[in-house]
Structure 1
């Protein structure tokens, strides 16, 4: 499940960057949009790791 959610987040970011390259006209706008997408992707991946760790802790408590 962890691998699948990371793959989904990265594929979504890749699609957003490609769409940004198509939509925006100037290179400056494209670079800013790509950096914003990468920033949000990193935050999403970090939150994904934190959420999975919290879920694992609750599962360990339930199994005891």
Structure 2
């Protein structure tokens, strides 16, 4: 069996099995104006916005199996 093809980010070296995942990841390196849809804050890249958005998630009780 041959190893699966990996798509590697040229900026940070992170690898993905699917080219679409790499395309999505590359957006995290783009600089620009990314506004938060929940508050007035703005961010320089998608990665920073995603990190901020985690703070907007509800923190309800967690279920254990």
TM-score by length of 1: 0.29
Q: Which has the higher contact order (CA 8 A, sep 6+)?
A: 1
Bigger share in strand: 2
